Structure 1
Amino acid sequence: MNHSKSNATFFAIVPGAGHMYLGLMRQGIEIMFLFFLTFAVSNSFHLSFFGILLPIIWFYSIFDARKKASSLTELEDTDLPIFKSTDFSKLLKSNNTGKYIAYVFILLGFLSLMDNIVLPLLSRYVNYEILRLSKELFISLIFIAVGLLIIIKGRKLKTGDNKCNKEE
């Protein structure tokens, strides 16, 4: 099906909307999710290094929508390459999904509470620079701890898979 490259480019000004114009709803939602989640995390927790991802996602959205609009083959609405290694439909059916979503909300709520209530109250008594550095250190340590937990859990799953394969 022929789509207008100029229309796809126009809609792609909002990341993901160009893909939706092309009928690629899944890809459009995934791009929007990435873009706006990155924006929210970057602004909410003052993590400016996440901001570097915004233009990358935005330009990917524009150029990919233009490329797909000029494609002569039938477009297939599959996961984006970044999501291909994760089977979200399987993940959403998992019994642990609710638990992980709850952990994310607890973590975000805790960080928001620290940023919006605790730190402004402490700023009356403690130098602002010390508070800022403490906050950055705390958030960095949380990211490191979550990353390490994911790696450890991944190793346990792999060794469990190897044991199952050896028994067969």
Structure 2
Amino acid sequence: MTNKKNAFFTLFFSCCPGAGEMYMGLYKQGIGLMGLFFGTAALAAWLRWEELLLFLCPIVWCYSFFHTHNLRRMTEEEFAAVEDKFFFEDYVDWERDWQFTAKHRRIFGIVLLLMGISVLWRAALNLVGYYFNLPGIFWELSRCLPQVIMAVVVLCAALHLMREPKGDEEESMEEDAEEAEAV
């Protein structure tokens, strides 16, 4: 595999997140970036979270664009040392039974809670805006119903994740006591 590709095609493909990496032969990196970019755009469009589009999509696009050009500028030896792996592989251990720690459960739960509240807030504001126009309120309700259902699901998941299982508190206290004794 070589990184000495056509400069025009490298520029052309680097304009689409992930396509430049795939053109360079790094398919896992390209698919991961493309999936993150277009998945974020689809989720934001479906849930009407324009802020997510404005924040995350440009970051992914810029990363992919400059990463492609940095790959092209590498020497053959440096490029040969680049592993083609999904960008999240360094953060997730697929070999073990993966579970959230208590700290990460709370953080993820709070993020989901805020996302759910955001969707419900927008749906409520849209419905109140059409309060005096009865035919309009039915149209708005039918348009907002999938988003409201998704928000309720996200809120329930967030509350479930933030709630401590009864056995975890005792186990974590015992682990802390064992660690203190070991020190």
TM over 0.5: yes
**Aligned twin of 1:45:** 47
2:70 to 50, 54, 67: 67
Q: Work out which of the two has the higher radius of gyration on C-alpha atoms and give 1 or 2.
A: 2
Deviation at 1:149? Answer: 4.0
**Aligned twin of 1:76:** 83
**Aligned twin of 1:2:** 3
State the distance in 2 between where 1:42 and 1:149 align. 24
State the distance in 2 between where 1:149 and 1:3 align. 51
2:31 corresponds to 1:29: yes
TM-score (norm 1): 0.58
Q: Is the 8 A contact 2:17 2:37 kept in 1?
A: yes
Relative distance call for 1:152 and 1:86 in structure 2 (3 A) is: farther
**Aligned twin of 1:124:** 135
SS at match of 2:17: coil
Alignment of 1:144-155 (within 5 A): 145-150=156-161
Q: Is the 8 A contact 2:28 2:85 kept in 1?
A: yes
Q: In structure 1, list runs of 5 or more residues that go unmatched.
A: 95-110
State the distance in 1 between where 2:142 and 2:135 align. 11
Residue type of the alignment partner of 1:85: Y
State the distance in 2 between where 1:47 and 1:22 align. 33
TM-score (norm 2): 0.54
Moved over 2 A (4+): 1-9, 123-154
Relative distance call for 1:76 and 1:54 in structure 2 (3 A) is: same
Q: In structure 2, list runs of 5 or more residues that go unmatched.
A: 98-118, 128-133, 179-183
SS at match of 1:84: coil
State the distance in 2 between where 1:153 and 1:24 align. 41
Q: Is the 8 A contact 2:3 2:71 kept in 1?
A: no
State the distance in 2 between where 1:26 and 1:8 align. 17
SS at match of 1:124: helix
2:18 corresponds to 1:12: no
Relative distance call for 1:12 and 1:146 in structure 2 (3 A) is: farther
State the distance in 2 between where 1:90 and 1:29 align. 22
Deviation at 1:31? Answer: 0.4
State the distance in 2 between where 1:142 and 1:79 align. 29
Relative distance call for 1:13 and 1:49 in structure 2 (3 A) is: same
Relative distance call for 1:9 and 1:128 in structure 2 (3 A) is: same
Aligned residues: 139
Relative distance call for 1:152 and 1:30 in structure 2 (3 A) is: farther
